[in-house]
Amino acid sequence: MKGWQWPTGNEIYPQKDERLGKVIQALQDAAILSARNTPRGTQLKLLFDLAGKQTVLFKPSWYRRHTIIEGTVYSGKDRHNSEIVAFHLGAILNLRWTPIVVGRRVSLKEIYRLADDELQATMNKNDTRQCVYGKCHYCKPSEAICDDPETDQLEGALLLLVPGKFSKYRSPWQRTYRDGVQAEWEQADGYCGRVKERLPLERLLDLIDVAVFDFLIQNGDRHHYETREDRILLMDNGKGFGHPFKDHFDILAPLYQCCMIRKTTWERLQIFSGGALTETLQALSEIDLLHPLLTKDHYDAIERRLLLIYTTVEMCREKYNSRIFK
């Protein structure tokens, strides 16, 4: 696999390169040689070393496809299918800022055999099923995930690690994560003007692209963002697709507060009007081993949210004319 040679700035893979298919195939098929914990973050994740000298991150499945996550926009655990669909959506919108992600089923019994001592110490049995709770901020034995009793396997998302040095920043549109307490951006008029004073235009336009992307998948948990070579990456996309009947409009705050968007982003969004976006997403999902990745309700929600983005941009254009396009 040669995928690690591609990334430049925030473009993780090229727009056109037939080798991408080979990388995806290798991620789906390559033998897992070893497994270990990765304590980074708040949720269970594992590191696998694959044949071909690649290290990948494994995010397990916690929910069935039809499960609806109630509560706040950031409630629940990560959804592995959200990571996969985010990769596909980024490719469609030419926001090639996500890791390369595939769905894959693994046997935890086999993973136990390949695991190092530290990981084995966090793996237990539930009846005859092999389980794992791992090592992370919130990991504990009472919240272990187990092989499916019918298939003796566990679904998950495999993420190809992105090379390079990363910098991490607090999002200007971060939530407070406290009930009844609003952040400055939720209550201050002219908030975007203050952001413009602190950030260069290129960074702000990146954040608006991210807001459009996150609104489509309903990821309202991007409290920080990471950059590579000073450009934003779309990492940690697991909090999408929690509730197909809710649209948290405040995810779009960077767009409607700043009233600007890249001309290329706007043109790309228009290409996929009239159902073309979800048709393309569904076609891409068919190449994944875990197909189908989303329910019809979630696809309908994507189309509904796309119309809301169109409406928001048109509202801004009525106020500021074509100056909104950068």
Active-site residue among 147, 206, 209, 221?
221
Task: Report the distance separating Cα 222 and Cα 210, nearest Å.
Answer: 9
Q: What is the phi/psi pair of residue 167, to 5°?
A: -120, 145
Burial of 187 (0-12, 13-18, 19+ CB in 10 A): exposed
Q: Taking the alpha carbons of 59, 82, 248, 243 in that order, is the dihedral positive or negative? A: negative
**Residue 120 in marked binding region:** no
Whether the Cβ atoms of residue 191 and residue 185 lie closer than 8 Å to each other? yes
Nearest to 90 by CA among 303, 233, 293: 233
Whether the Cβ atoms of residue 301 and residue 247 lie closer than 8 Å to each other? yes
**Residue 109 in marked binding region:** no
**Residue 43 in marked binding region:** yes
**Residue 15 in marked binding region:** no
Q: Six-digit token pair at 111?
A: 């993973």
Residue 221 annotated as catalytic: yes
Task: Report the distance separating Cα 155 and Cα 83, nearest Å.
Answer: 13
**Residue 5 in marked binding region:** no
Burial of 162 (0-12, 13-18, 19+ CB in 10 A): buried
* Feature table: binding site for ATP: 43, 59, 226, 236
* Feature table: binding site: 43, 59, 78, 226, 236
* Feature table: binding site for Mn(2+): 78, 236
Name the residues annotated as catalytic.
221
